Structure 1
Amino acid sequence: MYVSKLYVLTDDILTPRESIMAQTKEVLDAGVRTLQLRDKTHSNADLLPLVKAMVALCNVYDARLIINDRVSLALNANAHGVHIGLEDGSLEEVRALLPDALIGVSCYGDLERAKKAQEAGASYVAFGSFFPSPTKPHTKTVPLDIIGQAKATLSIPVCVIGGINASNIHLVKEADMISVVSAAYKPDSITQNIQNLAKGLL
């Protein structure tokens, strides 16, 4: 089963170094084809061998590995893309460094920022948090209707993130990409969790 909309992120606690490769393989085996490495702990030099291995594994599955924030790491590891927020440099600079990569841009609840990102060459834009998030508990939530507004306004894919799980994923299923963190790894096996999330997209 290919779960095309699901976009699974790693996490410093939920995907520790000793198990991240096995967890990544299970995510891929479950049908997910877009993953993001989000690591707030280790240096780029420390992460480089791991990221290269993850890129190689994703290539076997014809999947995409996107790196959160770390543009130079994405470049050096030949990752498939990078995801940037407000603090991560200009989109134009990132696009110049990674001309062929996927570049996602966090837009929070700001549709104008999303329009500017599209004009500047973003591959997709992400909105959220839509629900209280266990991995980012202090993030403000945004209204669900921004998904429809964004879809009507933009021509690039619209991604959603923040507190999405098997019980609420149906509320955001009109998005093109649906990011999950905790819900991919808990409460059951990764395989079972992905299947439960996919059911909400039917």
Structure 2
Amino acid sequence: MSHIPEQLRGLYVISDDTLTPNETIIEQITEALQGGATIVQLRNKKGTLEEIKSLSITIQELCHKHNALFILNDKIDLAIELGVDGLHIGKSDHHRFEEIRKEFKGVLGVSCYNSIDMAKDFERLGADYAAFGSFFHSATKPNSNVIEMNILKTAQEELNIPVCAIGGINLENVDQILEYKPQMVSVINDIWTAKDIQEKAQNYTNHLEGKNMKLSIALEWFLNPDHLPIVAGIQTGKYKDVGLDIDLIEPEEHYDGFDLLEKGQIDIHINEPLHLFEHHFDGIKSLGCYFETHGGVMIRQSSVEKLRNNEPIRITTPASNPITNTIGFEILKRYADKEGFALEKENVDFIETDFYHIKNMKEQDFDGAWLCFYNFEGIEAEHEGFENLFVDQRISPYPNFSALELMTSEETLNEKREAIDKFIAVTNEMTRYCQKNSEFAKTVFYDYSKQEKSELMDKIIDDTLERFEYLKSDATRWRELADFLDELDIVKLDNTAYDKIW
């Protein structure tokens, strides 16, 4: 052909004598087309010539209704007679290629297996696309040789015609193929054995057409129940259903995600809104808050009098630095001012340890713990009967920031808006489902995290579920927090910089 049609891209489905029998083939192909298949090949090795002719006419009409291409496999004379959209030939007809090209005016595709040189020769002789494979073990052709995927990269570099990948491809491995960007991906077994062919075809279409649909997400710390809606979306395949490939990253340090986000090495970062301001950079964008709990400083009950008497106290914390220590002290100071007792900064010593707050207070005789979240430490203290005073925003007048905000960059948002919109929609759906199905939420968390099931973790999950909310960007939500940080000389954002975040 002088002009290669635009349909030579996307999902290329091929019929099979066993999987698409004559009794159901039209219905099956209709579903595949409705799911987004752009090319349909009729590969019929057992039917009579009249049966294949009748099917070809019907299927080509069906394809045209869906703006798709119809390709006939091997039946050269019939393809010429009917003037079908396309013809695909294998090695048994390679020797006739020049003759076929002269007689057949439609799209002419050729199987090149594992040979770039062969593909170059056929391109020179007029082939419209080249197919390579198998790339995985194929149930349809179990004796096919499995070849290296790197041939797809070479084909893209050395050929000027579209490339089709074939052989053993399914939704579990298709992303490996897509790394090499073939124009077409051919599927047989995985499509026709699906309970819902249209849905399966749509899943492939989402993968194939979903440019920039892979999202890398850096967590704020280690994986925990605060991330349950996202874990549920991964475990149930809901993100994959809309063409998303989600990669969750646990950072080595609490603030690593901001650096990665600014450098464009991740797409989304999860962290407390406090750090949205503390680690602000030009172009950072809020996608919204999906979780909020109570948080602050936990004082063991036996040390409350020491606090009130302005005696020296030791506070365990996973992060001791000038900023977090200033905020921790301010929370206690505001509580002291409200209650009418004095508290001096030099009497509060923040000591960096880890996140095992209750354990540290019990075993190392700390007076308190800073950076406590009620849905974790509050629940754990209740579970263990550990008496304490939880100094949070309910008893100390400061703006809450014990929440999780999703953040991206302006560049990533512009580049991957469709993917991010889908991510938000699925995450909201999973939030709703987890809240209505707590046992499901526990199961997916334990399965994904590989943590051993425990009564304490069950209680933490139950409390956490109540604190999830739908993701929605809100410019007013953290205004008071920004003013609080400004007042403490921690972060000073002018109104323009603040407004640009949302």
Same fold flag (TM > 0.5)? yes
Per-residue CA distance 1:19-58 (angstroms, 9 max, x = gap)? 1111111111111121100111012223111111111111
2:366 maps to none
Q: Please say if residues 35 and 205 of structure 2, whose CA atoms lie closer than 8 Å, have aligned partners that are also in contact.
A: no
- CA separation of 1:167 and 1:199: change in aligned 2, threshold 3 A: farther
How far apart are 1:75 and its partner, in Å? 1.9
Q: Please say if residues 69 and 85 of structure 1, whose CA atoms lie closer than 8 Å, have aligned partners that are also in contact.
A: yes
Kindly report structure 1 stretches of 4+ aligned residues shifted beyond 4 Å: none
How far apart are 1:193 and its partner, in Å? 1.2
Per-residue CA distance 1:85-130 (angstroms, 9 max, x = gap)? 111252211111112x000010000110000010000000000000
Residue correspondence of structure 1 range 29-68 to structure 2 within 5 A: 29-68=34-73
1:141 aligns with 2:142: no
Q: Please say if residues 135 and 149 of structure 2, whose CA atoms lie closer than 8 Å, have aligned partners that are also in contact.
A: yes
2:109 maps to 104
1:115 aligns with 2:120: yes
2:203 maps to 196
RMSD: 1.6
Other structure's SS at 1:87 match: helix
Report which stretch shifted further, 137-146 or 81-90: 81-90
Report which stretch shifted further, 117-126 or 72-81: 72-81
Q: Please say if residues 131 and 163 of structure 2, whose CA atoms lie closer than 8 Å, have aligned partners that are also in contact.
A: yes
Identify unmatched segments of 5+ residues in structure 2.
1-6, 211-502
Other structure's SS at 2:92 match: coil
Q: What is the distance in 2 between the residues matched to 1:191 and 1:60?
A: 16
Q: Please say if residues 55 and 78 of structure 1, whose CA atoms lie closer than 8 Å, have aligned partners that are also in contact.
A: no
Greater RCO (CA < 8 Å, at least 6 residues apart):
1
Q: What is the distance in 2 between the residues matched to 1:33 and 1:105?
A: 18
Identify unmatched segments of 5+ residues in structure 1.
none
Q: Identity, % of aligned pairs?
A: 38
1:20 aligns with 2:25: yes
Name the aligned partner's letter for residue 144 of structure 2.
Answer: T
Report which stretch shifted further, 163-172 or 43-52: 43-52
Count residues with an aligned counterpart: 200
2:85 maps to 80
Q: Please say if residues 147 and 158 of structure 1, whose CA atoms lie closer than 8 Å, have aligned partners that are also in contact.
A: yes
TM-score by length of structure 2 reads 0.39
Q: What is the distance in 1 between the residues matched to 2:26 and 2:193?
A: 17
1:180 maps to 187
Q: What is the distance in 2 between the residues matched to 1:53 and 1:126?
A: 25
Q: Please say if residues 44 and 73 of structure 2, whose CA atoms lie closer than 8 Å, have aligned partners that are also in contact.
A: yes
